[in-house]
Amino acid sequence: MLGTELALFILIGAIAIFAAVMMLISENAVHSALFLIVNFACVAFLYLMLNAAFLAMVQVTVYAGAIMVLFLFVIMLLGAEKLLPQPNPQFSWLTPVAVGMVVVILFVVSVAILDSELDTNEPEPHNPVVRFIHANSEAEAVDIYLNDQLWASDLEFTQGSDFKEIEAGEYTVKVFSGIDLLTEETVALGGNDVVSLVMLPEAIDGKSLLRVKTSLEPVKERNTSRMTIVNAMACPTDCTVDVLNITDPSDKPTYFAENLGYGEFSPFEILRRDQYISHLYTLGAFPAGVAAAELSGEDAKLASKPTIQLRDVEATDNEDLVWVLMGDSRAEIFRQRGELYQIDNYPAFGSARGVGQLLYVDYMLVFQTIAALLLVAMVGTLILTTDAEIKRTRRNPRRMAAVPGNPTVEEYVQSLRSGAALPEASSTQQLPSGE
């Protein structure tokens, strides 16, 4: 049984093909232009099915709108709509042959697509991207090496490196503080992995690098962000925490993470922002069980203050957030703190930002090359359509009257300047009389 998406694709595709064929075989120029508008509208609908709303609106506005208005204006200006079809065309066999060839090609391509099982093929994975977050307060600035190649240098406590793309495989990660080797671990990275390696103050099962898997895939909903919470606090006592949304004191707090222990991270939460109001979130980390005990009643309120608080977190469009809870043991008193790390996700397919990145980042050279070729083609067209040589017309001296033998204007002006008499008209150049 056909699904709704496949049925719509077949229907719209059939209409687009029918409109394109009718545009080619129609003998009336206005009808051909109208069929082309229908074809453009079908293409715009296919863009909408691919979740590319920006491309769909460009298709309707630029092609079905501005360009087709120009086509119709030129057709009516030249009077092409008044041309009648020839009763005996010279190539009457051309139309049925062209239609037959199109049908055969469509049939062959359809059979090839159906046999190839394109819907079951997995897309090629992207290379993994990695970054490091320094959450060990006992270590000074660190240098990080991947397979003995420097990856990040002088990374201070609470700092995070930029995401970098590398090839999939196993890597030996070495972390140095000065000349001292702090840790050496093997990390396996596969396709499509987006990993934040958090350097912990105390090793867990012999590993000091906590692998936090995040995502850079575009968020489908507008005005939303993803947030992951990581507990990297090695407290002298138990540091299991509950993270709650305490934005509005009058509302009952909601849990973002519950019973989050050391070396654990929560599944990402979605932060939503109102379309017309800038929504700033306030999050608080509480010792595990404290919030649940105080909020057990119906009208109960949260009286305790959070040990770590994050204020004014804005849910921007298509962003990934990582909030790392850390412990600072550099002073005599152990302090708890949190650091927020933000990064923009990949732009959505077909969006204005996505199209701009493809044209001006990924395919900048190709885009500029095509633009240069089009410019050369336009200049060449102008040169080829102009005359190679400008012919100068010979100037005929104008006479004072259209009578052969009368003096010219130049002779008259010269006689005025010199005072000489005008030459007499030759009798042989006089016009014949009417007799």
Of the candidates 303, 232, 224, 309, the residue with the CA atom closest to the CA atom of residue 268: 224
Q: pTM score, two decimals? A: 0.64
- pLDDT (0 to 100) of residue 175: 93
- pLDDT (0 to 100) of residue 263: 92
Low-confidence stretches of the chain (pLDDT beneath 50)? 400, 402, 428-431, 433-435
Q: How far is CA 156 from CA 51, 144, 172, 199, 322, in A?
A: 42, 12, 21, 11, 18
Contacts of residue 145, defined as CB under 8 A and 6 or more positions apart, other chains included, come to 151, 173, 174, 175, 176
- pLDDT (0 to 100) of residue 434: 47
Q: Are 44 and 342 in contact (CB under 8 A)?
A: no
Phi-psi region of 178 (alpha: psi -120 to 50; beta: other; left: phi over 0): left
Q: Are 41 and 64 in contact (CB under 8 A)?
A: yes
4-83+96-115: CATH class: mainly alpha
Distance of CA 98 to the CA centre of its chain: 38
CATH topology of domain 219-346: Immunoglobulin-like (2.60.40)
- pLDDT (0 to 100) of residue 429: 47
Three-state SS at 336: strand
Q: How far apart are the C-alpha atoms of 181 and 174, rounded to whole Å?
A: 7
pLDDT tens-place string over residues 26-50 = 878 888 888 999 999 999 999 888 8
Q: How far apart are the C-alpha atoms of 314 and 26, rounded to whole Å?
A: 57
Of the candidates 316, 342, 313, the residue with the CA atom closest to the CA atom of residue 223: 316
Nearest 5°: the CA angle 91, 92, 96 is 115
Q: Is 219-346 in the same CATH topology as 4-83+96-115?
A: no
Of the candidates 396, 422, 417, the residue with the CA atom closest to the CA atom of residue 407: 422
Q: How far apart are the C-alpha atoms of 105 and 20, rounded to whole Å?
A: 15
pLDDT tens-place string over residues 69-110 = 888 888 877 776 665 666 666 667 777 887 788 788 888 887
Three-state SS at 319: strand
CATH topology of domain 126-213: Immunoglobulin-like (2.60.40)
Of the candidates 349, 322, 327, 341, the residue with the CA atom closest to the CA atom of residue 262: 327
- pLDDT (0 to 100) of residue 172: 94
> What is the number of H-type helices and E-type strands within the chain?
9, 17
Spans of all domains in the chain: 4-83+96-115, 126-213, 219-346, 352-384
- pLDDT (0 to 100) of residue 101: 86
Of the candidates 209, 291, 236, 214, the residue with the CA atom closest to the CA atom of residue 258: 291
Distance of CA 74 to the CA centre of its chain: 34
For β-strands 129-134 and 194-204, DSSP reports them as parallel
